[in-house]
Structure 1
Amino acid sequence: MSDAEPMDSAAVWLAYTTVGNEADAQTLAHRLVQEQLARCVTLLPGARSVYVWQGQLETTPEVLLMVKCTDAQRHAMKMVWTDLHPYELPELLFVKADDGHAPYLDWIRGV
């Protein structure tokens, strides 16, 4: 999606990211909600990521954050992500929530 594409005010998105510990997860979640970049953040400790970083195979314990947001919040989050996230190369993946419990989706939208 390009920055020039119009926003869809009805769209709800799930964003996924990981951080290395519970303290960083709490800090990031609170900032996202307090700065109105997300409506809700769910923290899932106990994740383990396996990946290659700088030529080395890594296995790292992490906390997964599941972020619920609107399209406007998604755009704003992308603009400041590297300033908010503690990692050098922070994960940020968006999945559009095409369906769900209508009252919950309305709450995410602020309706």
Structure 2
Amino acid sequence: MTDIVIAQTTVDDEDQAMALARGAVESKLAAGAHIDAPFTAVYWWKSEIETAREWRISYMTTVARLPELEAWVSERHSYEVPQWVTLPVTGGSGAYLSWVVEETTKL
């Protein structure tokens, strides 16, 4: 196990995806972020099946920065109930894992 996590959310607007990705990196809450190409989401919402075009944002961050990143994204997210999931990073190259830690360390 490492102290690195991948945190993910989805949005229905490409500009918002870019703003959430870039803002988190600028704020040093994430070392980097990936925005996946749009996909179709199918889900239950308020007793109805909905479909939406969404973009997934994956943030590379540390366990220590995760609570602050989650709060930051939640404040800026347009969804009433945004997806927020975290995936533990169980391994990886030492150089990459060190880079994530270094880039998320507050100045």
When normalised by structure 2's length, the TM-score is 0.87
Q: Percent identity?
A: 26
Residue 17 (structure 2) aligns with: 25
2:86 to 94, 101, 111: 94
Q: Distance in 2 between matches of 1:66 and 1:47?
A: 14
Question: Residues 7 and 84 of structure 2 are in contact (CA less than 8 Å); yes or no, is this contact kept in structure 1?
Answer: yes
Gaps of 5+ in 1: 1-9
Q: Which amino acid aligns with 2:90?
A: D
Question: Residues 7 and 60 of structure 2 are in contact (CA less than 8 Å); yes or no, is this contact kept in structure 1?
Answer: yes
Gaps of 5+ in 2: none
Residue 50 of structure 2: SS of its match in structure 1? strand
When normalised by structure 1's length, the TM-score is 0.84
Q: Which amino acid aligns with 1:12?
A: I
Residue 95 of structure 1: SS of its match in structure 2? strand
Residue 27 of structure 1: SS of its match in structure 2? helix
Q: CA deviation at 1:50?
A: 0.9
Residue 6 of structure 2: SS of its match in structure 1? strand
Residue 92 of structure 2: SS of its match in structure 1? coil
Q: CA deviation at 1:27?
A: 0.7
Deviates more, 1:71-80 or 1:33-42: 71-80
Q: Distance in 2 between matches of 1:78 and 1:15?
A: 8
1:53 aligns with 2:45: yes
Question: Residues 6 and 59 of structure 2 are in contact (CA less than 8 Å); yes or no, is this contact kept in structure 1?
Answer: yes
Q: Distance in 1 between matches of 2:38 and 2:71?
A: 28
TM-align CA RMSD: 1.5
Q: CA deviation at 1:64?
A: 0.7
Count of paired positions: 102
Q: Which runs of 4+ in 1 moved over 4 A?
A: none
Residue 36 (structure 1) aligns with: 28
Q: CA deviation at 1:46?
A: 1.9
